[in-house]
């Protein structure tokens, strides 16, 4: 009997089994500390779960903060001349969302609206527990794992969208948002409403949350589109929009980019038009959700928006958002662009 050969075979079998077990654990986890300069993999299903937990965790900070002193400060003026406020609640939500994600996936880029705020206490935020099922989201567990290179992933978060309205207690406009972009393309979007405890999510080409509304296409709406614009826009925008979309169009104002996108997704409006600069953390989650339900978001010039980490955080050519008939409405944009200059 060749004992040497048998021992070598057994050692090889043990090594192979150990390696297979390592790969299984590695793939099931959202991240890894294996030092290959961000060339290792990220599990997108795990990242979706973390994105939901982040948005809802930030939402809890927003909900808790409404009864405390907000300590409102100004980050300056928007291009529309409106105040751009920030509060302690923005920072508390940022702390929970940003560090929760970074401590769960230490190998991905996360970009937050409140990125300039540093707080040593945030370092104590624990990683998200991805093992239990998330209540109301059992269909996530039915999806297959999908692995991507960590270096291709950028997560955009808005810890408190519609801060101005939050300070005015117009809570219906307030959301927290998380978006996962792969090579600049928005793939996963999560929009959470803290004050109604509603969370909408979508994974492009895969699934949406069970509460995502089904909205039938009504071609006749093109003759009298319902258009929503920012409540901070000057009156000229409403006049120009009505001129471009026709006398029968109905132009309304609302706050919060996340809120306005979801109002298009759920069929309340046919068009969301924003004519000035807007930041990518305001729109990335909505862009991913729109793509998943066959809607569309582009600049007013018709360009897709690149959410890569090395790009500019601002979109300077405005945005056009529709669930249906995007090309039809896009043809109206040159007259609006001309009128606004």
Alpha carbon 227 to chain centroid, angstroms: 22
CA distance 157 to 111: 6
CA distances from 256 to 79, 121, 150, 273 (A): 16, 29, 30, 12
The predicted structure's pLDDT at residue 243: 87
| DSSP of 306-325 | P--TTS-SEE-S-EEEESS-
For residue 288, the model assigns a pLDDT of 98
Q: What is the pLDDT of residue 31?
A: 44
Query: What is the phi-psi region of residue 164: left when phi exceeds 0, alpha when psi lies from -120 to 50, beta otherwise?
Result: alpha
Q: Could you give the CA distance from residue 111 to residue 156 in angstroms, rounded to a whole number?
A: 5
Residue 158 counted as an annotated binding residue = yes
- The annotation status of 80 as a binding-site residue, yes or no, is no
Residue range(s) in the chain whose domain bears CATH number 3.40.190.80? 219-338
In which residue ranges of the chain is CATH 3.30.540.10 found? 38-208
CATH number of 219-338: 3.40.190.80
Adjacent-strand bridge partners of 34: none
Sign of the CA dihedral with 211 first, then 111, 302, and 172 last? positive
Residue 130 backbone dihedrals phi, psi, to 5 degrees: -95, 0
Homologous superfamily (CATH) for 38-208: Fructose-1,6-Bisphosphatase, subunit A, domain 1 (3.30.540.10)
- 153-161 and 109-112 strand pairing: parallel
Q: Is 325 annotated as a binding residue?
A: no
Structure pTM?
0.85
64 is in an annotated binding site: no
The sign of the dihedral angle between the CA atoms of 104, 185, 294, 289 is positive
* Residues in the chain, pLDDT under 70: 1-39, 69, 74-84, 115-119, 138, 234, 341
282 labeled part of a ligand binding site: yes
258 vs 285: CA distance, rounded Å: 8
Position 38 scores a pLDDT of 44
**Using one digit for the tens of pLDDT, what is the confidence trace for 149-180?**
999 999 999 999 999 999 999 999 999 999 99
């Amino acid at each position: 009997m060749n004992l040497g050969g048998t021992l070598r075979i057994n050692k090889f079998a043990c090594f192979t089994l150990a390696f297979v077990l390592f790969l299984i654990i590695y793939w099931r986890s959202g991240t890894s500390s294996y030092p290959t300069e961000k060339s290792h993999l990220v599990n997108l299903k795990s990242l979706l779960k973390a994105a939901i937990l982040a948005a809802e965790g930030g939402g809890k900070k927003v909900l808790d903060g409404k009864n405390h002193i907000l300590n409102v400060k100004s980050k300056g003026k928007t291009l529309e001349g409106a105040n751009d406020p920030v509060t302690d609640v923005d920072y508390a939500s940022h702390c929970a969302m940003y560090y929760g994600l970074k401590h769960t996936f230490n190998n991905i880029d996360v970009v937050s609206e409140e990125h300039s705020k540093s707080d040593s206490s945030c370092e104590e935020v624990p990683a998200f527990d991805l093992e239990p099922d998330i209540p109301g989201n059992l269909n996530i567990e039915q999806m297959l794992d999908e692995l991507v290179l960590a270096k291709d992933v950028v997560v955009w978060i808005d810890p408190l969208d519609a801060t101005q309205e939050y300070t005015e207690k117009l809570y219906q406009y307030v959301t927290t948002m998380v978006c996962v972009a792969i090579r600049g393309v928005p793939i996963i979007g999560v929009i959470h409403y803290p004050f109604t405890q509603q969370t909408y999510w979508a994974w492009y080409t895969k699934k949406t949350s069970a509460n995502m509304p089904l909205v039938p296409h009504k071609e006749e709406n093109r003759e009298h589109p319902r258009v929503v614009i920012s409540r901070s826009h000057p009156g000229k925008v409403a006049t120009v929009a009505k001129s471009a979309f026709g006398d029968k169009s109905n132009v309304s104002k609302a706050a919060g980019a996340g809120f306005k996108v979801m109002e298009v997704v759920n069929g309340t409006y046919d068009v969301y038009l924003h004519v000035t600069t807007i930041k990518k953390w305001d729109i990335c989650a909505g862009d991913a959700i729109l793509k998943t339900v066959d809607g569309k978001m582009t600049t007013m010039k018709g360009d897709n928006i690149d959410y890569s980490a090395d790009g500019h955080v601002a979109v300077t050519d405005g945005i056009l958002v529709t669930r249906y008939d995007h090309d039809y409405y896009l043809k109206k944009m040159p007259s609006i662009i001309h009128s606004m200059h």
